[in-house]
Amino acid sequence: MKTKFYSLALAILALPLLYGCPNPNPKTKLDGMQSKVIKVKDGNHIELRNGLTVEILGIKPSEHTKDYLEKHVKGEEVVIKTDSEQRQYISSYKTTVKTYVKLKNDKSGYCISGKLLLNKTAKLRQTAVTDSLKHFAEYANPRSIPGPDHIMTDTELLTYMKPASFMIINADGSCGTGFFINENGLALTNHHVLDGKQNAVICFFGENGELDKTNYRKINRILLSSSGTKIDFTVFLVQLDNGEKVRYMPLVNQHIRDGEKIAKIGCPVGTVCNFQTGNLSNYNEGYFTHSIASNHGDSGGPIVNYYGEVVGINQSIEFNRTINEQAKGIAYGVDALLIRDYLKQYNINYEY
């Protein structure tokens, strides 16, 4: 008899494991509910261990958002946050709800939707985001910039980068690459390309990508310059014609993810407006490494993400990591966030 009793008890205990969580109280509150993400169904639907399917509010589903959820959300404990216009209670876990979702251990304060919009992996979906529409709109459109709000193809990106980039030609014949970061001629390059010790001009690229030496501008003045072994940059102003505005590329306002796809334009010896793609490897203090092959002449060119935002300045020289060791075969970029910090520190107005 005792054996039969224990067998029956074990069978009862096993039921939730076989059939999932029992139905909740008819008025089980959604807000604050916690569970583990066991499946990503598409770009804005996830399935939780308790059986609940969540449509994440505020984002349009895409392959990019699905990839992000697979890499950063699947297998994680999450907390559900409800919108006041959506369902607040459930009577069954076998249902789909529309809510915000936050990673339980994330201390940033942003929900998953906010992160996806901030790093521009997702587009804003305004349906039923009553409580956070204003904030989501700020995430999706933090400023008015000339670049697109979508991930570009290689052809689109090259077309976009070309008019905002240029070759720098010094009086001694040495050259490098530079680019504009606002419409008033504020520009960036490397210190070893432009140190202010000799006269220099910038030449624009023609429509076919060839150098147009008849279309040049003089350097107005150097605003900031750093010649450190790992951080090599110059901030300068180009002397524009009266009333002239130039095409430019905005600086990112946060780090992109390691492994994210990037592109650069440069002027390596013998070529002009050379476009190459690769991936950002990892960030260090003030700089990062990347996979795009670089040569002299590429120095000072823009490294951008596929939204056309500048993530760094290409630094193709082989700088010393220690006194006796040189880093060879590795490409570097000066971190755009470091440049932002310097511009702010020295009250240089660069906003778009």
pLDDT of residue 133: 52
Each residue's pLDDT tens digit, 281-300: 999 999 999 999 887 778 99
pTM confidence score: 0.59
Q: What is the average pLDDT across 310-328?
A: 64
Q: Which of 175, 181, 177 is nearest to 166 (CA)?
A: 177
Each residue's pLDDT tens digit, 204-247: 887 666 787 788 999 999 999 988 767 899 999 999 988 888 98
pLDDT of residue 5: 40
Each residue's pLDDT tens digit, 63-101: 888 988 998 999 999 999 888 778 889 988 999 999 999
Cα gap 335→284, rounded to integer Å: 9
- Give the rounded distance of the alpha carbon of 91 from its chain centre: 40
Q: CB count, 10 Å around CB of 23?
A: 13
DSSP code, position 251: B
| Contact status, residue 295 vs residue 306, Cβ threshold 8 Å | no
pLDDT of residue 341: 93
**H/E segment holding residue 283:** strand 274-283
What are the structure tokens assigned to 221, written together? 């003045």
Q: Is the pLDDT at 2 greater than 80, yes or no?
A: no
Cα gap 300→166, rounded to integer Å: 10
Q: Which of 324, 330, 340 is nearest to 290 (CA)?
A: 330
DSSP code, position 323: S
Each residue's pLDDT tens digit, 169-216: 999 988 999 999 999 999 999 999 999 899 999 998 876 667 877 889
Each residue's pLDDT tens digit, 112-161: 888 887 766 787 776 656 555 544 444 444 333 445 566 888 888 998 89
| Contact status, residue 160 vs residue 148, Cβ threshold 8 Å | yes
